[in-house]
Structure 1
Amino acid sequence: MTKNVVSITPDRSIAEMAETMQKFRVSGLPVIDASGRLVGLVTEGDCLRRTEIGTASTRSGWRWYLASTEMLAGEYIRSHGRKVADVMTRDLITIGEETDLDEIVHLMEKHQVKRLPVVRDGAVIGIVSRANLVQQLATLARGGGNGREDDAVIREKVRAELGKLPWMAIEFVNPTVKDGVVDLWGSFTAYQQDQAAVVAAENVPGVKEVRSHLAWVDPVSGLVVYSPDEEEQYLPAERVS
């Protein structure tokens, strides 16, 4: 799971929600109340039908007459509401930190969701997304066999080492470890941050190799400038040499 979870409160505006998603390059945010408890979840899907961009749901003719008053009122609130509380999903599917991967996949498929909050005593301690599962699958496919128990310890040490770098946006980096080999996933927004992350991981005891899959994302446009896992790479002049 991703432990550094970016969240938002239900009283924040829709504009603030969108800005937070863009800033941290996430597609979903747990909604946390003043007591720190999980009360909802907002995703990119909640931004699709909005009056500001002219995509609010419209019903005409017989579709309007067949829709219940409750349904029409709900659609209006979700497309015109100004607060996160107006659009967030309240009926949540959550998991615990000991939930098996098979059960996680089953819940994602059954409920057609892309992410599941990990909850302990009502508080969010992490989130598991489809991206996390794909990253782990890629790591296992490269390494083969079953991971060693101390891989989890190495992963936490790598995260701790990255956390020592105040200028490193570690919330964008997710390390996975298989047989002592570290794969770094996610993105970076400044020149050489990716190499610094590799160096930090290489200095962790027990690490045999570090492989970077970090994509360089333009912090202004949000576009991927460079991705080592893509055939096409768009590099600035100073990186070509």
Structure 2
Amino acid sequence: MTTTATIMRTDVAYISVRDTMESAAQRMRQLDVGALPICDGDARPVGIVTDRDIVVKCIALGHNPQTTTAGELAQGAGDLHTVDVATDLDAAIALMRDHQIRRLPVTDDGRLVGIVTEADIARAMPGPVVSEFVETVCAQNLPVTSNDQTPV
């Protein structure tokens, strides 16, 4: 059995539930990444914040990124999907596909130890698996106009 441990990135950085969106943005810039897991004080993942979340869920709604915390953003995120380090890789990919997840935190005894991303799957899996994954995960459910039924 091939597990998530075989393709996960172990150098995953994260932010605390108490970190502000401003510090999250600065950390993303520093690391040249577009998302960071949000962890509680015991390094247990409770959410993920993306650069898009900072813009759409914080700034665009008039919240101050200097005072809005990652924990506040994570509370509205719903259920966070994670997998254990020993999870079968096919099961992890199926979870990502089924829930259109681009980044999947990997845990060991509930604590963050890695992350599996689209890029990890693209590097590690055969072409047909990657193609199906990208097609499913990146499928957009765009609203349609009532006049011509084309995406807006």
**Normalising by the residue count of structure 2, what TM-score does the alignment of the two structures yield?**
0.67
The aligned runs of 1:14-93 (5 Å cut-off) are 14-50=21-57, 52=59, 55-56=60-61, 80=63, 82-88=68-74, 89=77, 91-93=79-81
**1:114 offset after TM fit, Å?**
0.3
Q: Rg: which structure is higher?
A: 1
**Closer, same or farther: CA 21–90 of 1 in aligned 2, 3 Å:** farther
Q: Give secondary structure in 1 for the equivalent of 2:86.
A: coil
Q: What are the Cα deviations for residues 110-164 of structure 1, in whole angstroms up to 9, with x where unaligned? A: 1111011111111011100111011113xx67xxxxxxxxxxxxxxxxxxxxxxx
Match of 1:127 among 108, 115, 118: 115
Q: Give secondary structure in 1 for the equivalent of 2:23.
A: helix
What is the RMSD computed on CA atoms of the aligned residues?
2.0
**1:38 offset after TM fit, Å?**
2.1
The aligned counterpart of 1:136 is 124
**Closer, same or farther: CA 31–38 of 1 in aligned 2, 3 Å:** same
**Closer, same or farther: CA 42–51 of 1 in aligned 2, 3 Å:** closer
Partner AA of 1:40 in structure 2: G
Quick one: distance in 2 between partners of 1:20 and 1:130?
Answer: 21
Paired residue total: 115
Match of 2:93 among 105, 109, 112: 105
Higher relative contact order (CA 8 A, sep 6+): 2
Quick one: distance in 1 between partners of 2:99 and 2:58?
Answer: 27
- Decide whether the 8 Å contact of 2:57 with 2:73 is kept in 1: no
- Unaligned stretches of 5+ in structure 1? 57-78, 142-241
Q: Give secondary structure in 2 for the equivalent of 1:86.
A: helix
**Closer, same or farther: CA 98–15 of 1 in aligned 2, 3 Å:** same
Q: Give secondary structure in 1 for the equivalent of 2:22.
A: helix
- Decide whether the 8 Å contact of 1:39 with 1:90 is kept in 2: no
**Closer, same or farther: CA 50–37 of 1 in aligned 2, 3 Å:** closer
Identical-residue share of aligned pairs (%):
32
Structure 1 segments of 4 or more deviating over 4 A? none
Quick one: distance in 1 between partners of 2:14 and 2:104?
Answer: 13
The aligned counterpart of 2:106 is 118
The aligned counterpart of 1:4 is 11
**1:100 offset after TM fit, Å?**
2.1
Q: Give secondary structure in 2 for the equivalent of 1:126.
A: strand
**Normalising by the residue count of structure 1, what TM-score does the alignment of the two structures yield?**
0.44
**Closer, same or farther: CA 51–14 of 1 in aligned 2, 3 Å:** closer
Quick one: distance in 1 between partners of 2:95 and 2:103?
Answer: 10
Partner AA of 2:70 in structure 1: V
- Decide whether the 8 Å contact of 2:107 with 2:114 is kept in 1: yes
